[in-house]
Structure formats: structure tokens, C-alpha cells
Amino acid sequence: MLQTIIIGKSSNLSKTLSIKLSNYAVISSREIINNIDVLKEFKNKKINIIFNNFQPATELNTLHNAQKYVTNSILVTAKVLDYFKDTRINKIIYTSSSSVYGNNILCNEQDELKPLNLHASLKVANEKLVEKFSGDNNIDYTIARIFNMYGGDDNFSIISKIIKAYKTNQELTIVNNGNAIRDFIHIDDVVEIYIKLLGLKNIPILNVGTGNGVSIKTIIDYLKNNQIEVLFKNINKNELKASTADNQLLINLIGEKTFKEVQQFLKEELKI
């Protein structure tokens, strides 16, 4: 029976996928680094691989240990691919990020990649590694460029920080007055798309986003208009000004879909 191997145990996406998938195994990056033979039982099986391994989201902007950062971000991917090079791999999904596009108001899969920071650059490197490996070994693969995911066991997204700030009556730090535009997609929608991708072929790159952008300022104003006051302070620094998915390819593949709206999610979480 076809089994799906998910790499990256601490990933929010891995945890939610494991609820929805039936025949799967989740392996941590640490286990793979310590002993690659943790994968031995899958070597002679027909498998899918989902790569959710990367530097922990809460540590993306720190470089306390450069070697650990690179190991978590790309070496684990390389070790797994090397180990399974003679295995019957049905499909590979690599979890990438919209950050690979840089500043782009409507990101299309064919657009030039313009990563602006280290973690986005390492995502591009992973994409190229998976693309090369899969092409050389005639393996079907999909690079899933996820936009701003929230929900589930999330303690990283600005949405989770808004909820925490309100519930704890703490001050939220926003950047550039919250004017940046983002495409927020709920993790349940992402998982639904991933499960469908496992059964689809010849989709090398796919934007995983709603196609709608909204600013943090708009979200905070929406909450305020519904008697939810979030305390915040502003800082000014360089950031992506806009990032929204051109998701026409996604819609062509899965059909018209109603994505969970971030405002509706906040309504439920904050009981507006």
C-alpha cells in the first residue's frame, strides 16, 4: 500500500496533515540528522514524500548557529533524497513559500524569483534540489509555494499574534503601520489541497493561496469596528510590501473553492 512519509515532525502543517491522512509516517529532522536509517523501513516500499522540514518558523530571522540553520533548511532534504534514490517514489511535495517571489503584488508560478532574505533564498535552493533530483530520476513532484498560512497549532503568523495579544491584553508589534498586503490561507485549506495533490501528476509548481490580499491594518480596523480593541505599537523596517497569489492554476486543478476568510476565522476565535 502506498505510504506517505512526512519530513518535519514539529511543523504545524505536518501535525494537521497527520490528522487527515490515513497511511502515513512523520519523521523529525533531528532523527534523520542523528541516524538516517530511521527511514530504513520505507526504503523498499512505494512512497510519497512531503518535505515540511525547515528552520523553525520562530527562528527564521535569527542566525545564532549558521550550521544548524542550513542543516535544518536544506541538508535534511538532501539526506532524504540521497537515501531514497533507489526507492519507488510515487510523488514528492516540497513545501516552499511565497517569499521566493519577493515583492510581487500578484505572484504567478512563472514569475522570476527574487528572494530578499536568507530563508527565502534557501527555499529556492530546496526547490532547485527537488527539481533536479526528480528530473534525473523521473519522479513526479510539486513545489507548493504556500502564502501566509494561519490556523492549527500556529504560534508564528501575525494572525496568531493578534489573537494572543487580545487574549492576554498585551501589546502587538506591527510593522510599517500594518500596510503590507498578504494573502492569508487557513491551514485546513492547505491540507485539503495537499491531499488532492498526492493524486495529481505533472504540476511542478503550484501557488497555494486564496488569490485575495488584505493588510494587517484592515484586519485590525475590522476588529475595532466589532468592538475588539487590539493594543499595538508600530515599528518601521524593510519588509515585503505586497504578496498575493495568482491562484488560477490551483482553481483549474481543484475547481472553484470557497476559502476560509481570515476575518471569519478571527470572528470564531475571538467570539465576535
Please state whether the predicted TM-score (pTM) of the whole model is above 0.85: yes
Residue 25 pairs in a beta bridge with 5
The pLDDT tens digits of the residues spanning 55-76 come to: 664 565 666 778 888 888 899 9
Domain boundaries along the sequence of the chain: 3-149+185-208, 154-182+211-245+260-270
Mean pLDDT lowest for which of 68-72, 81-85, 234-238? 68-72
Residue with cell 476559502: 259
Supply the CATH classification number for the domain 154-182+211-245+260-270: 3.90.25.10
Residue 188: band (very low, low, confident or very high) from pLDDT cuts 50, 70, 90: very high
Residue 204 phi/psi, 5° resolution? -65, -35
Supply the CATH classification number for the domain 3-149+185-208: 3.40.50.720
Q: State how far the Cα of 2 lies from the Cα of 13, in Å rounded to an integer.
A: 20
